[in-house]
Structure 1
Amino acid sequence: MASSFLIVLFISLHSADGFLFSWVSRCYFNSTELKDMEFIRSYYFNKDELVRFSSSLGKFVGYTEWGMKAADYWNGGPYVARMKTVKERVCQHNIGNYYGAILTKSAEPYVRLRSVTPSGATHPTMLVCSVYDFYPKLIRVGWLRDGQEVTSDVTSTDEMADGDWYYQVHSHLEYMPRSGEKISCVVEHASLKEPLVTHWDPSMPESDRNKFAIGASGLILGLVLSLAGFIYYKRKSRGRILVPSS
């Protein structure tokens, strides 16, 4: 499992005559277990890091002349033991809340299955299975042909972050269409109780289906407008007095 990172917003700021001194605490973790957490506290002057405590090293490390002197002084006093207690108090507490509020949640994906005709490809057709708006990141997308897993002519993108906690991924299958075969895209994800199977309907290409939908919508709209005009004409005719021609 990839490690996660949490900035704990305990920041001390001291400024005078345009100078800024600050410190930032960070927690790196793989689980809610204390042994899987690393606590780092960095001290800055303006934008330069002067000295840092790392729980994995168990000591302070200086990065400037003043920082190295401070690290030597702090490593010889009670500050190291104090930082170790801060790791438990800050990281373990906040990461427990983080897991409960975010990392244990999940969002079900939705699937769009379409066909494209790539230029210059040896296969006349490519199916694209696009999976959107899922969380967490880990997901598996595969293909079935007549119930059997397809292992060749398949390429997939990496999971791509949308920037709003959700992810998307796209899988491509190049194939030679055969009459009567059944091709399906299969998605497995933590949010699903069972795999999500989407079957491909080759009866009509997607572009033709879109044209048909647009044409049907136009036909229905035309009928509605014609009917409304006819009703309006009949109502006007009822209130009109007809005069015989001479």
Structure 2
Amino acid sequence: MRRRRTLGLGLVLVGFAFCCVSSKDVYVFQDIDGCEFSKEDLSDMVYTVKLVFNQKLLCMYNSSLGKYVGYDAYGIINADHYNNQSWKMKERKEEVETLCKANARYYIKSETRKVPPVVIVRSSGKARYGQLSTLECHAFDFYPQAISVTWLLDGSEVTGDVVSTEFMDNGDWSYQMHSYLELVLHRGVTVSCQVEHSGLEEPLVVYWDSSALDARITKIVVGCSFFFIGLVVALSAVCWYYKKQHRGFTSLPLH
């Protein structure tokens, strides 16, 4: 779908092309749907469907006429055929609202519409301190398209080992973008993703949550501590038992 506005006229175009190739020639058939309007309330919306063969207009549906019109002998035959199909004419009439006006409302709102991104930062797989890990920063459902994503280590920008995707169109007038950072994690070093967008009053900084990794380290430390305490207690008990078994009395001399 392609959208543009010129001289106060809104235009939404949807095109389909079918191409057939022979040994000598190329045949292209196009179905081009257009929605034209100039008023904000869309009361003057005109929906057109053009059938074009090798750049020649065969016939066209115009919602203001409510029918197809042919422009050559073959186009007239097709126009009469389509006009006698009640289901097709009903569909064309409904598309003024479902295709044209529905998309035009989004188009009008897009000029001032600003939707801030939803940002998520997470690790790709299991992250470990001292090992190379990959962190992901995902920005979802924002509009307009322009956005800036920056990785920070302790507040300083990371310039290397960063890979970002192109903007992805969700198909509902919103976009998404993803960024990846490879680094060796160190305990006590904060990692964050900073996102700047016109829908945000100030840059949004989302920190990578290392609590799960820290908790795992804490569990290991606590487990080792209990192990050594248990080992010391066990060795003390063994020493006490050994001394008790070998403790004796010195015999007194006979008179």
Give the alignment's TM-score, normalised by structure 1: 0.45
Larger-Rg structure:
2
